[in-house]
Amino acid sequence: MSFFPEIKNRVPYEGPSSKNPLAFKFYDAKKKVGGKTMAQHLKFAVCYWHTFKGTGADPFGGGSLQREWNSGSPMEVAHKTMEAAFEFISKLGVNYWCFHDRDIAPEGATIAETNKQLAEMVEIAGVLQKSTGIKLLWGTANLFSHPRYTHGAATNPDPCVFAQAAAQVRRALDATVELGGTGYVFWGGREGYTSLINTNLKQEREQLAALMHMAVDYAKKIGFKGKFFIEPKPKEPSQHQYDFDAATAIGYLNEFGLADHFAMNVEANHATLATHSFEHDLVVASSAGKLGSLDINRGDQTCGWDTDQFPTNIYDAVAAMTVILKQGGLKYGGLNFDAKVRRGSFDTADLFHGHIGGMDTFAKGLLIADAMLRDGVLTENIKTRYAGWKSPMGRKILGGKTSLPELEKWADAQGEPPLISGRQELLENILNEYILGIR
């Protein structure tokens, strides 16, 4: 039986002149770009939670999306959902998926029952991975939906709740390793506070680090060869999250001795909630050698919450692919959608439209970023702008080999420095020329 009859075999690549809404215009998996195929550059992952478990619910109303796979007992639903997921991902031609433990298997009455149900679904996922060739990008534990986590999981005032979270992380790591995932994500939705009036912030941050250290130790024991990722977000559902943005999370890793094991999973909509651009957080992470993976959804500029929309913004895609190309790719991570269709997008075809549009946007972004980097117009400009730092005094400053008095003397000898234009408007025009295809 088919859950997605609108696609018979696979979404085809038909090129930019195609008017077929269920075909790719730019994403051509086998096309070579700078020595690698598009599929190798663009390690897209379909997220299980929004795509297959999403109901369209919002704070003002329950589910609106009726899915054929969403009926029966909780375990029957789990089985049908898994079947639907692998059918969809195969038909889309995406090579990776991501999940939370509770997306793929429901929680039971006891930890033992929960573990049994999870193990059953992991086994099935393993079989489907083998038969389809689809791989796991990363796994994670849902430490935010159950009421016990209302005041935090690792950062809960009650160590019994911490232990529940530890039990979940253990099994989610087991599942990730069994399914060959190359990443494991910590997103701290409830690891934060709603008010400092009842919060010991110092201790909560230490508690979270304790869980992360245990995860690192356990992962080593079970043979995890991948990377841990923190997915920064400033707020929602907590009023303030401890992993606010990439800079905060990198500082946190350094403070608690976790930096060797972790990188960032930067999400577009989280960066904008932190009043940054997506590009900002990508560049902050990458320049610290800590850009591991991306969640590529977008927000809506007119509202201040996490709308998790499919990516259609070509500027963001060009910026993201530029950062990724410059750092030589994503070894352990990829481009996870983490996007959901709107509450009113009732049809399964809408799921295809969202993903196809996102993949085409990033494929075009890759082509533009590659062309710009090869031509070097923007990179050359930056090189020229900072050329003074290659001078003997520039090197001395960066090497820590000078002092305030010596620099005072040198400044005096140089005289007033000239005013040099940053040429921002010109460079923005050049970027547009690439995007509009006239360069």
281 binds ligand XUL (CB under 6 A): no
DSSP sequence for 137-160: EEEE---SSSGGGTT-STT-SSHH
Stretch that binds ligand XUL, among 185-193, 383-391, 398-406, 416-424 (CB under 6 A): 185-193
Q: Where are the beta strands (DSSP E) in 123-224?
A: 135-140, 183-186, 192-193
Residues 409, 412, 415: CA angle, nearest 5 degrees: 150
Site size with Co ion, rule: CB under 5 A: 3
Least separation in angstroms between residue 393's CB and ligand XUL is 46
Nearer to Co ion, 187 or 352 (CB): 187
Taking CB within 5 to 8 Å according to partner kind, which of Co ion, ligand XUL, none is near residue 87? none
Least separation in angstroms between residue 270's CB and ligand XUL is 6
103 binds Co ion (CB under 5 A): no
Q: Which of 87, 103, 245, 295 binds Co ion (CB under 5 A)?
A: 295
Stretch that binds ligand XUL, among 157-165, 184-192, 255-263, 316-324 (CB under 6 A): 184-192
Hey, CA dihedral for 315, 321, 323, 326, is it positive or negative?
A: negative
- Active-site annotation holder among 101, 103, 243, 306: 103
Answer yes or no: 151 catalytic: no
Stretch that binds ligand XUL, among 181-189, 215-223, 324-332, 340-348 (CB under 6 A): 181-189
- Active-site annotation holder among 100, 270, 276, 355: 100
Amino acid residing at 214: M
For residues 366 and 15, give the distance between their C-alpha atoms in angstroms, rounded to a whole number.
Answer: 15
Nearer to ligand XUL, 243 or 338 (CB): 338
Taking CB within 5 to 8 Å according to partner kind, which of Co ion, ligand XUL, none is near residue 101? none
Taking CB within 5 to 8 Å according to partner kind, which of ligand XUL, Co ion, none is near residue 140? ligand XUL
β-strands 32-33, 36-37 pairing: antiparallel
Across 221-236, b (16+ Cβ under 10 Å) vs e yields: eeebebbbbbbbbbbe
**What is the footprint of ligand XUL within residues 80-139 (CB under 6 A)?**
100
- Each residue 226-255 as x (binds ligand XUL by CB under 6 A) or -, in order, gives -----x-x----------------------
Stretch that binds Co ion, among 29-37, 70-78, 289-297, 406-414 (CB under 5 A): 289-297
Least separation in angstroms between residue 345's CB and Co ion is 19
> What's the DSSP call for residue 8?
S
3-state secondary structure of 197: helix
3-state secondary structure of 413: helix
Burial of 327 (0-12, 13-18, 19+ CB in 10 A): middle
338 binds ligand XUL (CB under 6 A): yes
For residues 126 and 99, give the distance between their C-alpha atoms in angstroms, rounded to a whole number.
Answer: 13
DSSP sequence for 379-396: HHHHHHHTGGGGSHHHHH
267 binds Co ion (CB under 5 A): yes
Answer yes or no: 103 catalytic: yes
Q: Which of 87, 101, 245, 267 binds ligand XUL (CB under 6 A)?
A: 267
* Distances, alpha carbon 393 to alpha carbons 389, 398, 414, in Å: 7, 9, 11
For residues 196 and 199, give the distance between their C-alpha atoms in angstroms, rounded to a whole number.
Answer: 5
For residues 324 and 211, give the distance between their C-alpha atoms in angstroms, rounded to a whole number.
Answer: 30
316 binds ligand XUL (CB under 6 A): no
**What is the footprint of ligand XUL within residues 362-421 (CB under 6 A)?**
none
Q: Which of 87, 174, 204, 338 binds Co ion (CB under 5 A)?
A: 338
89 within 8 A of 128, measured Cβ to Cβ: no
306 binds ligand XUL (CB under 6 A): yes
Give residues in contact with ligand XUL (CB under 6 A). Answer: 100, 140, 185, 187, 189, 231, 233, 267, 295, 306, 338
Give residues in contact with Co ion (CB under 5 A). Answer: 267, 295, 338
What are the residue numbers of the active site?
Answer: 100, 103
